[in-house]
Structure 1
């Protein structure tokens, strides 16, 4: 049959399938001979899913899987350094490449590769040929290099996200339509493929230039018209390099083909061929599923293969994450008999994924509506406990719907299982579920947390929420909660969701969690982060849950008085600002403020954004204030008070729990890439301590009668870690001898005696000490110290001369990050740096983040280790750990036990690095106590 109008060709990017399968699955081996087959297993599951999902009237008529033949192509003749930086494939992946070709042929799908050409070129040639013949093409890939092919008759489909990519999506990605993508790529280059491009020109800038000049050749011909000097020089001086880059990124529609489109016609798998291959690979579960799909009996397992060995699960059980999701298979548990059967199964297997459904994200106020369980991929259930009929009376109450298990009965049956130390409980953000169940008298242990597994492996690469992980690693979009609850004024709570809908949603969540666990657990070892997860992430969950449930007492009257005082002071500042501006205006309006500063007053440095409004961010106002302009300085003061009032003195009153009278923050373990905890609802970690007003807010955090608040804070921990990592003798010696480190730095840098040192000189040294940790620039230091930029840069240069180890550390860290794509803390925490090789404005930030991450991350690891040890250390003492704020821990203790608590906590904190890391600099902890937090700190 001649390919033509009405025919639809699917082109599958085989290399993308292989690498996705390799990185998504654990390092599997064939049990009979130890052959690596993890990528092959994932690849076969993906092909089977593709075949199953592409049946019926809308199925493609033609299909092929396209592979890269080798690393060397005609592009290496054009530019020898093309893809020179790409690392060699992992050793255990190389023998799997030919097996994936064999797998494609076993599925009876055309398998194509051409020596000297990349898979993208073959895809381009086939797309052009099919389109010219009157057919349509879908390219199954998310590769940005293929987006230049999108157009009439050709679209892309991201198979992992099930997202179609047309002309509009290409424009969203590149800022131009497909026909100009090559021009943009030629300008921007590609650090991954080592396409040079124009230095300093990123995708956004390239798109703007192409939009303005029409196409690349017109831009190169008229480069002298470009107004920005740096941009003009980058284009003019690298014109030939840009033209070479265009030849590198342009796909070749004339790639020679040794077959016809007709050869790609869809063919059904031959049962014996496909099942024979899968059986030889020892993929037992997939073999069974394929046999069922083909309606034949599965072949017997090969007798030579030992599929179980000392408790190691079958290979195929480790890839069950790829099983299709089927909400129809989920069970609804409505009585004790049905729940008892599930409990028996849990006890038999020794594990269960669990998820709770509630009426709120606030664990201290949420009502339990239901519980979902999953014991194997696809085997999940939901236990409705608190669903109510829609509507309700004036107070929102309504009767429970019929045919649900009584809450007390269900929890009494589940309690022994959830507290059984021999049964592993698996969750996604398990801290939430543990707190919900703790309020019902159930202490869940032991636990595994898929969110934290992802965080341990992938911090810095992507988020760790369940929906994103499911989409990224399972290729499935779970039911969105908004489809059940709605949004805005019409939004309902989960107890109003019909049980039938709740079953599909809740059981799927437990099913997804279980599959992610099966996927992630073995990968921790491959990623070399098992120790991080087991010693720094997982054991922190119950510690934080206890702290959050304890809460901290806050005095409402104190907050109210502060709010009133702030309001009065803001009113005074507004009057002063209006007088300086020559008339009234809305101080809180950036638009009006910009017009006053840069149009009416004519102050320098104004810049308009894309929306046409003047920029009035803090950095702009600080620069103007540093130049002696009063109005922006007063606005900064007004903004600070406004933020303190709205964020703290007003908002904290709303967060006081009506029953406990305390504020219960929630800590996010996976919130920051470096391992620092993040505090939310409310955020108690960002209360300012440098301003008098900010410090006063801590006065509202009080101890109950007969008790004190005790604060213990690491002294300059990040500088101590820097001294250790960078091996700086002068700094290490100063810390060992207990010197004032900032005065010592000033003495070393400025050659002034320690005795009678000018406080201003010490302040400058302090700013440099802390600024260097964050990779501060001369511009940034000048702003902080309000001194000329040249002087600030001179300070930094002198600092590096006096402490050369710091520059060495920075250079080595950046080089390591560029080579490996991540940096590590002293405890092995991996912080990924995906933007480290990027060009443009973001490059500097990525380098600074890479420099800071091992230091800040190690400090975060130290205090995590201290917190994990703390419950055991203070057990039996009349004390409770309440808060963690960066390097500080806050406790509530009976007055007579304060001294003993300080002694014990200080011992734990100062020894927290041992024995994992032998620091060459001592850790010291400062302690304070008082009736409120301000007095204690």
Structure 2
């Protein structure tokens, strides 16, 4: 059986806003802003070149007012006007689409999402595998069979499993969940007091919205029952608003979406008109004005310090670095998102001689920034010894410098520590002498004109501060863990490098246990041969740099730069030095506090047991779940894969919000515990 043809539908409106907010301000010589145009063009070129679709179209919104405004006049009425610098770029983005010889779809009175739904249905009927390129959750209702999505922000494919992960229901039930939960962004009202999680549980229980509303009087929670009855019509209206029409007017027949040959003369003329010299270089055309190194003169208001760019994909930007510290307002080169989202292909170098290290550090000095990560003998920064250093200059281009491999593990140590660097090593590996290497690293690590990028750099800074580890004051720094916290606190499920690599790059990192083993067979990292440590160590610096390319430009775009620059970033070296110095505590006061907490916990424990009608281990999630959902029959119980009910903080807070007293008491008990 021959492989199915592929139809790619690009959410053009989503691409515009993503490009505008991801890139720093850029203008042509005549003052026209073009940062969104540049980002849109670069991303679209890369997308089509990578996917090589049989059919393709870029879909746009025409105007804010659509048939949905007739159904519900307040629909999207809360949205502010687009940024002033973005407005003149809308027409240029459409011109960019035409310059790339790509079909453009738009229909008055309908949203781009409706056109995408319509052409996805046509593609399905024609036997094509349809890929919708968008980060818009509203399009997830279309996922089925051969219709999937690609989230360009995370470079993540979205199928039925991913939709269930997002909404808690299958794709065909998404509109029912959205109708109940509403959407504050689009001013879809929904039913008050019902969020995505509760909506999913209700739809799973009743099957669909109509059945739920018909049986609303059977809902046990009084307030929820009342809202479902009183706002039933509002839920039905919301369903109309969130349901995508697959019968929208068709500007072009499906056959007209066959991917055309790119008209290079047309594209070259457009890129020259916009002064996009770097894109001209990418397609092999002459920049025309000799200013390719400065984005064809199109860069305005960009930081003069080094920016997140890859030597292989980005030209150098203007810099007055000599003798000055780099600004912390580093901005992404226009290809930063594309660079960071490239497949994680490794070209890692094991550096064991002075000349190679000198060459790498010279490149770092010329560039003005590098990612840094330390490998140590343990997780306790106050006691751990430095075993090696990894560094990265560009995505995929990283190195590892072993310093103390071959150390002997002491009998009292474990796999995360216990290395004796004073004893004669049982194995001799080729590596640069520790003092020699640190003498070469110190000028770079302490150079105020070179930015050091890391993940949880407080730990690495603390490690390097100790005299036995070089006594280096790592500065200035950028920390991707802090960046993630500022940008996405409470939204991404965690800020560890492993988690962020999976979330943003869809990449599973090498784990410590993969190289050192598990359990009693686990060996200390310093006993590994440097060759065995290379990929694990260098990958940390590589992934960190990729994350920085993604995160740093968002600070300004999302207006949180001051939080990071004034609060989080300055605290990194301060906290490292505080941890190295330690603090003095009054043990008697701590003892009194401990006794007070114990007494208060005992009171809550008694009250919880009285409410439950029996004694049980409050600290046991299994026993607590059985009390709440089996014995007491409370709503909202959901079993995990282990078969036990979840008693997470979210679950307890939902119960507490519904007036369940025992849930309030358990939360208080946990707070003290």
Alpha carbons of 1:341 and 1:608: their partners in 2 closer, same or farther (altered >3 Å)? Answer: closer
Alpha carbons of 1:615 and 1:461: their partners in 2 closer, same or farther (altered >3 Å)? Answer: closer
Structure 1 residue 384: deviation in Å? 2.5
Which residue of 1 is the match for residue 438 of structure 2?
Answer: 411
1:330-356 C-alpha deviation (Å, 9 max, x unpaired): 433221011112233334444433222
Which residue of 2 is the match for residue 353 of structure 1?
Answer: 371
Equivalents in 2 of 1:329, 1:494: separation in Å? 22
Which residue of 2 is the match for residue 385 of structure 1?
Answer: 403
Q: 1:247 aligns with which of 240, 244, 260?
A: 240
Equivalents in 2 of 1:104, 1:171: separation in Å? 33
Partner SS state of residue 91, structure 2: helix
Preserved CA contact (<8 Å) 1:307 1:314: no
1:539 and 2:570 matched: yes
Preserved CA contact (<8 Å) 2:392 2:399: yes
Please tell me whether Structure 1 or Structure 2 has the larger radius of gyration of its CA atoms: 1
Which residue of 1 is the match for residue 308 of structure 2?
Answer: none
Alpha carbons of 1:117 and 1:446: their partners in 2 closer, same or farther (altered >3 Å)? Answer: same
Preserved CA contact (<8 Å) 2:57 2:103: yes
Which residue of 2 is the match for residue 235 of structure 1?
Answer: 228
Q: 2:252 aligns with which of 243, 247, 259?
A: 259
Equivalents in 2 of 1:523, 1:152: separation in Å? 35
Partner SS state of residue 245, structure 1: helix
Which residue of 2 is the match for residue 812 of structure 1?
Answer: none
Which residue of 2 is the match for residue 28 of structure 1?
Answer: 26
Q: 1:551 aligns with which of 582, 587, 602?
A: 582
Ranges in structure 2 where 5+ consecutive residues have no aligned partner = 306-315, 319-330, 420-424, 657-661
Equivalents in 1 of 2:638, 2:344: separation in Å? 47
1:140 and 2:133 matched: yes
Structure 1 residue 358: deviation in Å? 2.6
Matches within 5 A, 1:46-125: 46-54=43-51, 60-125=53-118
1:527-568 C-alpha deviation (Å, 9 max, x unpaired): 555555444333322222121011246899999999999999
Which residue of 1 is the match for residue 11 of structure 2?
Answer: 13
Alpha carbons of 1:282 and 1:434: their partners in 2 closer, same or farther (altered >3 Å)? Answer: farther
Alpha carbons of 1:467 and 1:194: their partners in 2 closer, same or farther (altered >3 Å)? Answer: same
Alpha carbons of 1:25 and 1:478: their partners in 2 closer, same or farther (altered >3 Å)? Answer: farther
Alpha carbons of 1:136 and 1:425: their partners in 2 closer, same or farther (altered >3 Å)? Answer: closer
Matches within 5 A, 1:251-650: 251-288=244-281, 290-291=282-283, 296=284, 298-301=286-289, 305-306=296-297, 311=304, 314=317, 318-321=333-336, 322-323=338-339, 324=342, 327-375=345-393, 379-388=397-406, 399=426, 402-439=429-466, 440-451=469-480, 452-453=482-483, 455=485, 462=492, 464-466=495-497, 477=507, 479-481=509-511, 484-485=514-515, 489=519, 494-495=525-526, 499-500=530-531, 502-514=533-545, 524=555, 531-552=562-583, 609-610=637-638, 643=673
Partner SS state of residue 63, structure 1: strand
1:773-831 C-alpha deviation (Å, 9 max, x unpaired): xxxxxxxxxxxxxxxxxxxxxxxxxxxxxxxxxxxxxxxxxxxxxxxxxxxxxxxxxxx
The count of residues paired between Structure 1 and Structure 2 equals 614
Equivalents in 2 of 1:516, 1:615: separation in Å? 33
Q: TM-score, normalised by structure 1?
A: 0.56
Q: TM-score, normalised by structure 2?
A: 0.75
Alpha carbons of 1:553 and 1:229: their partners in 2 closer, same or farther (altered >3 Å)? Answer: closer
Equivalents in 1 of 2:648, 2:94: separation in Å? 58
Q: 2:39 aligns with which of 32, 37, 42?
A: 42
Structure 1 residue 205: deviation in Å? 3.2
Structure 1 residue 250: deviation in Å? 1.1
Equivalents in 1 of 2:552, 2:139: separation in Å? 34
Alpha carbons of 1:274 and 1:364: their partners in 2 closer, same or farther (altered >3 Å)? Answer: farther
Equivalents in 1 of 2:381, 2:145: separation in Å? 52
Partner SS state of residue 29, structure 1: coil
Alpha carbons of 1:619 and 1:82: their partners in 2 closer, same or farther (altered >3 Å)? Answer: closer
Partner SS state of residue 539, structure 1: helix
1:907-935 C-alpha deviation (Å, 9 max, x unpaired): xxxxxxxxxxxxxxxxxxxxxxxxxxxxx
Structure 1 residue 476: deviation in Å? 6.2
Which residue of 1 is the match for residue 322 of structure 2?
Answer: none
Preserved CA contact (<8 Å) 1:138 1:154: yes
Preserved CA contact (<8 Å) 1:450 1:516: no
1:691-714 C-alpha deviation (Å, 9 max, x unpaired): xxxxxxxxxxxxxxxxxxxxxxxx
Partner SS state of residue 21, structure 1: helix
Structure 1 residue 610: deviation in Å? 4.3
Structure 1 residue 306: deviation in Å? 3.6
Alpha carbons of 1:105 and 1:511: their partners in 2 closer, same or farther (altered >3 Å)? Answer: farther
Matches within 5 A, 1:877-888: none
Equivalents in 2 of 1:235, 1:518: separation in Å? 46
Structure 1 residue 139: deviation in Å? 1.7
Which residue of 2 is the match for residue 670 of structure 1?
Answer: none
1:477-513 C-alpha deviation (Å, 9 max, x unpaired): 4734368447853666544666456544544443454
Structure with greater contact order relative to length (CA < 8 Å, sep ≥ 6): 2
Alpha carbons of 1:403 and 1:169: their partners in 2 closer, same or farther (altered >3 Å)? Answer: same
Which residue of 2 is the match for residue 855 of structure 1?
Answer: none
Preserved CA contact (<8 Å) 2:369 2:452: yes
Equivalents in 1 of 2:496, 2:23: separation in Å? 19
Stretch deviating more after TM superposition (45-54 or 122-131): 45-54
Preserved CA contact (<8 Å) 2:22 2:557: no
Structure 1 residue 5: deviation in Å? 8.0
Which residue of 2 is the match for residue 165 of structure 1?
Answer: 158
Alpha carbons of 1:553 and 1:280: their partners in 2 closer, same or farther (altered >3 Å)? Answer: same
Equivalents in 2 of 1:373, 1:506: separation in Å? 9
Equivalents in 2 of 1:69, 1:126: separation in Å? 17
Structure 1 residue 126: deviation in Å? 0.9
Preserved CA contact (<8 Å) 2:13 2:61: yes
Preserved CA contact (<8 Å) 2:454 2:479: yes
Preserved CA contact (<8 Å) 2:38 2:276: yes
Structure 1 residue 389: deviation in Å? 10
Matches within 5 A, 1:706-745: none
Equivalents in 2 of 1:551, 1:519: separation in Å? 35
Preserved CA contact (<8 Å) 2:101 2:260: yes
Equivalents in 1 of 2:13, 2:350: separation in Å? 41
1:154-173 C-alpha deviation (Å, 9 max, x unpaired): 22232333333323333333
